[in-house]
Structure 1
Amino acid sequence: MHTVFEPSACSDPRTVEYALHSTRVGAPIRLLEEPFTKTPIFDRTVALIPAAPDHTVAAVVEDPAMIAYLVGVFEQQWRQAQVVDRESLAAGSSPVAHEQVGRLLARGLTQRAIASRMGPSERTVAGHIARLREVYDAETLFLLGRQMRGARTGESGG
């Protein structure tokens, strides 16, 4: 069993408990930063897809060609997703949240836009930014961007 979650799922205690149990019994979990449609696929023979815009109704799909297509989409998402670090989950933090916030900041998104895209509150995003500033010893967001870019390229941020 393979499962892909949105990074914001790491802030839900029940989801974290499920993820810890799943990984403990050998069912890998990954986080995908990009939007995706949740589509359970069972034994590569049956899938549930949303049948209403608000996701309150599901349709059962059993057509082999459609199942093969859905499995292919899932496998592509699985390859793009990041492996979940069980220790980070157990500590109550998203294993990719800091990196994701940093990337979105570098793209020029505002704190509000980042919160909207990732799912947590603006206050949570502000906390991630504050921790990034501590890690990179940056007094301003501009310096944070320079330090993070330097860390990625191996250059000095100053």
Structure 2
Amino acid sequence: MANKDELKKRLTEVQFHVTQNNGTEPPFQNEYWNEYKDGIYVDIVSGKPLFSSKDKFDAGCGWPSFSKPLHEEEMIEKEDTSHYMIRTEIRSRTADSHLGHVFNDGQAPTGLRYCMNSAALKFIPKEKLEEEGYGEYLKLFHKK
């Protein structure tokens, strides 16, 4: 994985702050809170697939929210007691990026809300999955 100096060059200031310093971007003022095109969301640091737009929903919180990850094994849960709250932080296993938090107030089928920072994610639209090396995820968007 890239070291901190390399990441500072590659990521924007907000992306670095969120992923490397456990930061949070402002609600309703981030890139993907209201993005609903078909595609997948990958870790901005490692490129590992994290979420599908098929599992995204509007939780009214101002951050992208998902009912489940694409791959549970890429999610690390940690207790977060910052800001006078007890929450469950979500980090990516491969890059150890801070992604956001998971809450028990989501929709069916899981009842979970993975509330993520846009700055920790990169959206790959369905039309670009093949060319960006994520062609195996096209099957998520085929009509049944």
TM-score by length of 2: 0.26
Q: Which has the larger radius of gyration?
A: 1
Larger relative contact order (CA 8 Å, sep ≥ 6): 2
Greater share of residues in strand: 2
TM-score by length of 1: 0.25
Greater share of residues in helix: 1
